[in-house]
Chain A
Amino acid sequence: MVTKLIILLVIVLGIVALAQLMRVYELSSKLSKKVESEIGNRDNRLNAKMWLLFMFFLFGGFIWLMLKYGFVGRGEAASISGRETDWLMNLNLIIVIAVFFLCNALLFIFAFKYVKKPGVKAFYYPHNNKLEMLWTVVPAIVLAVIIILGLRSWNEQTDAASDEAILVELYSKQFDWTARYSGMDNTLGRFDYKLTTSKNQLGLLTTETIDAAIEEMEHGTSGIDSLESQLNNPGIILIPEEKEAKIVDLSRKERLIRLLYQMKARHDNALDAQAMDDIIQLDTLYLRVDQEYEFNFRSKDVIHSAYFPHFRAQMNTVPGMTTRFKFTPDITTKEMREIKNNEKFNYVLMCNKICGGAHYKMKMMVVVLEQEEYDSWMKGKMSTSTFKDTYFANESDETPEEENEDAVNEDAVIEDNDLTADSEAA
């Protein structure tokens, strides 16, 4: 409270002081017969010099920032397409920085040099069509080059992945990421958001998950049966808001259950196998070096963005639609740690679209492994913790993810190589 009063006091006193200074200035300019609209030569020259000074400040500042920070934060790109992006980025930056220096330097030098000098009249020069044509055509040519190179790279980056690519789904929700590897068949099982239950967090579509979802919707703790009995039981007295909420909830669930029955009727059992061999992975995304990956992105609630700064890759995850992106990591985490000379460095997947309060914490570690390490890790996963293994493991209350973590001996593989990603995070 005291500090607040002091802040207020300082502000008030500051204004009073400034007003007094203005009075003094006013009186003195009355004495010297200064008119505000007439700018004196001294003022003109002072400002002209200030422009020159500012030019040194701006250019000096740029060079200082460039030397100190220009090459630290980003580091080397760790994917094949990222390397091309960086090449193109550097080319563009050179053009851009050159234009920045040239135009600003001209501006400041003109501002300095052509300040009003007594007796010198300005040069009447309203237009020159040749000159104007020149600076329309030259930027157009430079831009044509930039456009052609840019579009070539854009097309390469957004083209479909090759057949060798491993398919991985990244599922986003407030405020974490889940990866789903496509398993043996390299095909991701189908999904529907209505099938999402505590045991089937990603809403995978199989005969069993449809039945489970229907069961939960009808007879679960806040299922249709329970809602109806609460609403129809004269013994239970609900406050009006609560009753209203339950009625809304009930009508929504009745609508959803109809859709679930339709889904059940249409379901083709043969597709179950696609989902059964999928592998669900939390916390850390493991990738194999020099392997192309095709990522599919989904979102449970709001728009997120999967941003891999080190691989120069980014794609939004949009509820209601699947988006995709591909890249090929070509530097392992271990190698990158040596390059960066930082034992604790890790690749990361961050959320880069505002998604709520904890947006800034929404991330997943990414570890790029050598082929053998990756293969043995993946083999362990495939034999013990596919969706089939975890979903049918037992009927306990544990969520599949927790079982998942328990079931796999992945730490053994990874710790050998000192590549635990999330130890620091804790």
Chain B
Amino acid sequence: MAAVADGHHEESFVSKYIFSQDHKMIGKQFLMTAVFMGVVAMLLSILFRIQLAWPGESSDFVSFFLGETWAPGGIMAEDMYLGLVTIHGTIMVFFLLTGGLSGTFSNLLIPLQIGARDMASGFLNMLSFWFFFLSSLIMFGSMFVESGPAMSGWTIYPPLSALPQAVSGSGLGMTLWLFSMAIFIASSLIGSLNYIVTVLNLRTTGMSMTRLPLTIWAFFVTAILGVLSFPVLLSAAVLLIMDRLAGTSFYLSDIIVNGEMLTQHGGSPLLFQHLFWFLGHPEVYIVLLPALGLSSEIISTNSRKPIFGYRAMIGSILAIGFLSFIVWAHHMFVTGMNPFLGSVFVFTTLLIAIPSAVKVFNYLTTLWRGSIVYTPAMLFAIGLVSTFITGGVTGIILADAALDIAVHDTYFVVAHFHVVMGLSAVFGMFAGVYHWFPKMFGKMMNTRLGYAHFWITLVGAYGVFFPMHFVGIAGAPRRYYNYSVYGDFDVDSLNMQMDLNVIITMFAIISALGQLLFLFNFFYSIARGPRAVQNPWNSNTLEWTTPVDHIHGNWPGELPTVHRWPYDYSKPGYDEDFVSQIVPLKEGEDEGH
């Protein structure tokens, strides 16, 4: 199926930019859609942060976006608060960090880094993007229906999500959410299958699995996780649709809602949670692994050193991938699940800390005695290591069921997963965009704007999520519209929360404004950025041996032949501090890794 090398010919606008089957264009399409969705989700978070910092105060900003229906007098409605939280979470997890991150970089980098002309199936690849685009449109559109968007949290636990009588968002908004998700899952499955097949079958001569860049290993394992776990979410969603539309009782039992006695009996809300988290936990690593893969590549390149412990890094990716399937119920310690089952999940969950620790120490050793070049991508990659450490350690507390009881569903959890999954993945994505921008668009982004963007983002992000740990340890539940109820029983606690909430919101606004720098830099550079050279970062991997201007089939002549692993930076015996993968080994040279 791969396009032929000399098949580069002029194409119509539609087949080149819209219904393109070229992996590089599809990668860019994913990125553009994700940037749009990411901006929307960030805006939603600013809206609800304003509500949390200044509850009950009229805000022009809030009324500007929500109007009289959802913010009468400039004060956000209770239901809409839940709607914003739900859609923020959904977009960030699925549309920005799954579709956006994996979709963009798997598409761009898999063929380029393994030396293939294109994906195994260009048509399926195109289909994958258009399903993603359609599901993004539906999710975006669901915010504008009369009864509001889905309001039961991004985890959409039934019965709340099944009963429009319980909350208005569980009406049409929830139906659209479910249909959007079903299409999204189709997109993800098609994409993942394509990635797996491509990596297994289309590697160029000499590109053995142990010469693959860690990015490809990460995308490969991510795709396997997706293929194995997303179908389970699809079945969970289909059963929920049945409960909502056909009166079945998979998840519903003995319910009286709004004075209406339902006849459904025998279903279990816990069943949904098991199905949801069977996807939901691997999903965390579907989000995280690509970011770790990208940062491994970027840190090695810009430290001018081989990644330390290449095989251990592959081993940890595989171990994390495997373990991620047997830890899902740590989200359910206090749901009434059998406590013995809980202890099993404590054990498996804490095991994940071991490969994660190995990764962190390997990153640190890679930096040690390096010769670090601070491109914006490198800054973000180091930022990722920091947030991975900071967010990872708090996971140890949450994985411990005995302690989870005290902080479950508090802001401590919110802080934990935003730092370890949200920030790490977003930083990985930014690092990837800055690093491969020359490859994507043939232009350079502005470095100094990149620096400003990074430092504002790093300080802002820590400023948002660091205090949140303290709010959480104090016991503040998440998804509260406001915390004034604390005034009824503990004024000291209320004061602390109000203080910290204002600080958090301030930093959130600062980091959101910082993203404007990125957006400006991104679009301006696409239009007017200086032209890129072929290998701007003096990198070893194959994508930098392709011409700056994209051609169908990637390499003009023969496909390159690979002779070594991708991390020969500063290798003794070479004048340059990098040795491309296409350079043959010298007489008697040890491949040595």
Question: Taking the complex as formed, is A31 at the interface, i.e. its CB lies under 8 A from any CB of chain B?
Answer: no
Question: Which of B151, B363, B386, B489 sits near A365, CB closer than 8 Å?
Answer: B489
Residues in B with CB closer than 8 Å to A132 are: 309, 312, 358, 361-362
Name the contact of B524 in the complex, choosing from A22, A82, A103, A344 (C-beta under 8 A).
A22
Enumerate B361-382 residues with CB–CB distance to A below 8 Å. 361-365, 367-375, 379, 382
Q: Does B233 contact A (CB under 8 A)?
A: no
Task: Say which residue of A46, A95, A116, A121 sits within 8 Å of B372 (CB atoms).
Answer: A116
If the complex has contacts A111-B367, A425-B488, are A196 and B60 also in contact, measured as CB distance less than 8 A?
no
* A246 touches B (CB below 8 Å): no
Spot the interface stretch: B23-31, B222-230, B331-339: B331-339
* Contact (Cβ within 8 A) B400 A72: no
B-side contacts of A192, CB under 8 Å? 254
**Contact yes or no, A147 B410, CB < 8 A:** no
Docked-complex contact A69 and B470, CB < 8 angstroms? yes
One of B12-20, B343-351, B421-429 at the interface: B343-351
Inter-chain contact B403/A360, CB cutoff 8 Å: no
A352 and B410 contacting across the interface, CB-CB below 8 Å: yes
In this assembly, does A377 line the interface, its C-beta being within 8 Å of a C-beta of chain B? no
A125–B252 touching, CB < 8 Å: no
**Does B189 interact with chain A (Cβ within 8 Å)?**
no
Check A252 against B261 for contact (C-beta < 8 Å). Answer: yes
CB distance from B396 to the nearest CB of A (A): 6
Decide: B438 and A37 in contact? CB cutoff 8 A. yes
Q: Which residues of A contact B582 (CB under 8 A)?
A: none
In contact, B402 and A154 (Cβ under 8 angstroms): yes
Given A122-B577, A136-B358, A360-B482; A106-B402 close (CB under 8 Å): no
Contacts of B350 in A (CB 8 A): 143, 146-147
Within 8 A of A (CB), among B456-483: 458-459, 462-463, 466-467, 470-471, 473-477, 479-483
B122 within 8 A of A: no
Instruction: Determine whether the beta carbon of A22 is less than 8 Å from that of B446.
Output: yes
Cβ contact within 8 Å between A96 and B358: no
On whether the beta carbons of A150 and B445 are closer than 8 Å, the reply is no
Q: Is the CB of A319 within 8 A of B373?
A: no
Using known A-B contacts A92-B400, A314-B406, A345-B489, determine if residue A356 contacts B255 with beta carbons closer than 8 Å: no
**Cα–Cα distance between A264 and B258 once the two chains are bound (Å):** 26
**Is the pair A43, B159 in contact by a Cβ cutoff of 8 Å?**
no
For B316, the closest partner residue in chain A by CB is A136
- Contact partner of A314 (CB less than 8 A), chosen from B163, B334, B368, B473, is B334
Instruction: Choose, from B123-131, B175-183, B283-291, B492-500, the stretch at the interface.
Output: B492-500
Is B305 part of the contact surface with A, judged by Cβ < 8 Å?
Answer: yes
Taking A103-B360, A301-B166, A303-B269 as contacts, is the C-beta distance between A151 and B346 under 8 angstroms? yes
Contact partner, A36, options B446, B467, B528, Cβ 8 Å: B446
Query: What is the CB-to-nearest-CB distance from B317 to chain A, in angstroms, rounded to a whole number?
Result: 15
Indicate if the CB atoms of B369 and A359 lie closer than 8 Å: no
In this complex, what residue of A is CB-closest to B475? A309
* A89 lies within 8 A of B406 (CB): yes
Query: Which among B390, B466, B532 has the greatest number of chain A C-beta atoms within 10 A?
Result: B390
- Chain B contacts for A72, CB-based, 8 A: 474, 492-493, 496
- Whether a CB of chain A sits under 8 angstroms from the CB of B571 is yes
Contacts of A36 in B (CB 8 A): 444-447, 529-530, 536
Digitize A45-77: 1 where CB-to-B-CB distance is under 8 Å, 0 elsewhere: 011101100100110011001100110111000
Instruction: Type the 1/0 row for A324-356, where 1 means its CB is closer than 8 Å to any CB of B.
Output: 100000000000000010101111101111111
Asked if B520 CB lies within 8 Å of chain A CBs, one says yes
**Smallest beta-carbon distance B320→chain A, Å:** 13
Kindly state the separation between the CA atoms of A116 and B301 in the bound complex, as whole angstroms: 13
Q: Cβ of A35 < 8 Å from any Cβ of B? A: yes
Which of B253, B371, B445, B570 sits near A117, CB closer than 8 Å? B371
Closest Cβ of chain A to B81, distance in Å, is: 8
| Complex interface: chain B residues within 8 A of A269 (CB) | none
In the docked arrangement, what's the CA distance between A154 and B474, Å? 21
Are A85 and B309 neighbours in the complex by a CB distance under 8 Å?
no
Give the nearest-CB partner of B351 in chain A.
A143
What is the distance, in angstroms, from A27's C-beta to the closest C-beta of chain B? 12
120-135 of chain A: CB within 8 A of chain B: 120-128, 131-132, 135
CB distance from A120 to the nearest CB of B (A): 6
A265: Cβ under 8 A from any B Cβ: no
Cα-based distance from A145 to B79 in the complex (angstroms): 44
Q: Contact between B339 and A147 (Cβ–Cβ < 8 Å)? A: no
**B42 is an interface residue with CB less than 8 A from chain A:** no
Total number of B residues with any Cβ neighbor in A under 8 Å: 146
CB-contact partner of A39 in B255, B257, B265, B373, under 8 A:
B373
Compute how far the CA of A7 lies from the CA of B43 in the bound complex, rounded to whole angstroms.
15
A186 within 8 A of B: no
CB distance from A284 to the nearest CB of B (A): 11
Decide yes or no: A124 and B571 within 8 Å by CB, A89-B397, A193-B261, A303-B157 being known contacts.
yes
A358 at the interface (CB under 8 A from B): yes
Query: Inside 8 A of A93's CB, which chain B residues have their CB?
Result: 397
Q: Does B451 contact A (CB under 8 A)?
A: yes
- Given contacts A88-B403, A127-B311, A320-B267, whether A47 and B379 have CB atoms under 8 Å apart is yes
Query: Would you call A408 an interface residue if the criterion is a C-beta within 8 Å of the partner chain's C-beta atoms?
Result: no
- In the complex, A178 Cα to B48 Cα: how many Å? 31
Q: Give chain B nearest CB distance to A231 CB in angstroms.
A: 18
With contacts A320-B268, A359-B479 known, is A342 near B492, CB below 8 A? yes
Q: Please determine whether A346 and B400 come into contact, CB atoms closer than 8 angstroms.
A: no
Pick from A62, A140, A154: contact of B346, CB under 8 Å: A154
Q: Are B489 and A115 touching (Cβ within 8 A)?
A: no
Contact B567 A106 (CB under 8 A): no
Is A255 on the interface with B (CB-CB < 8 A)? yes
B389 touches A352 (CB 8 A): no
In the bound complex, how far is the Cα of B482 from the Cα of A93, in angstroms? 28
Q: Give Cα A19 to B449, complex, Å.
A: 12
Please measure, in the bound complex, the distance between the C-alpha atom of A300 and the C-alpha atom of B252, giving whole angstroms: 11
Q: When each residue 491-532 of chain B gets 1 if its CB lies under 8 Å from chain A and 0 otherwise, what string results? A: 111001101100000000000000010001000100011101
Q: Does the CB pair A346–B577 fall under 8 Å?
A: no
Q: A residues 196-231 with Cβ under 8 Å of B? A: 196
Q: What 1/0 flags go to B145-180 for Cβ under 8 Å of A? A: 000000111000101100100110000000000000
Within 8 A of A (CB), among B45-84: 60-61, 64, 77-79, 82
Q: Which residues of B contact A356 (CB under 8 A)?
A: 82, 151, 160, 166-167
Does A122 lie within 8 Å of B82, measured CB to CB?
Answer: no
Would A136 and B474 count as touching, CB distance under 8 A? no
- B117 sits at the interface (CB 8 A): no
Most buried by B among A54, A173, A352: A352
B405 touches A312 (CB 8 A): yes
12 new A-B contacts, CB < 8 A, other than A69-B467, A143-B350, A143-B351, are A47-B374, A88-B400, A103-B360, A107-B363, A111-B372, A115-B372, A122-B577, A126-B309, A151-B401, A307-B477, A355-B160, A359-B480
- 9 residue pairs of the A-B complex, CB under 8 angstroms, read A3-B60, A48-B372, A92-B403, A116-B304, A122-B305, A150-B402, A315-B334, A348-B490, A357-B79
Binding site for A on B (CB under 8 A): 60-61, 64, 77-79, 82, 151-153, 157, 159-160, 163, 166-167, 252-258, 261-263, 265-270, 303-312, 334-336, 339, 342-343, 346-347, 350-351, 353-354, 357-358, 360-365, 367-375, 379, 382, 385-386, 389-390, 393-394, 396-397, 400-403, 405-406, 408-410, 438, 444-448, 451, 455, 458-459, 462-463, 466-467, 470-471, 473-477, 479-483, 485, 487-493, 496-497, 499-500, 516, 520, 524, 528-530, 532-533, 536-537, 567, 569-572, 577, 592-593
- Closest 6 pairs (CB-CB, A-B): A73-B474, A320-B253, A309-B475, A323-B336, A37-B536, A158-B339
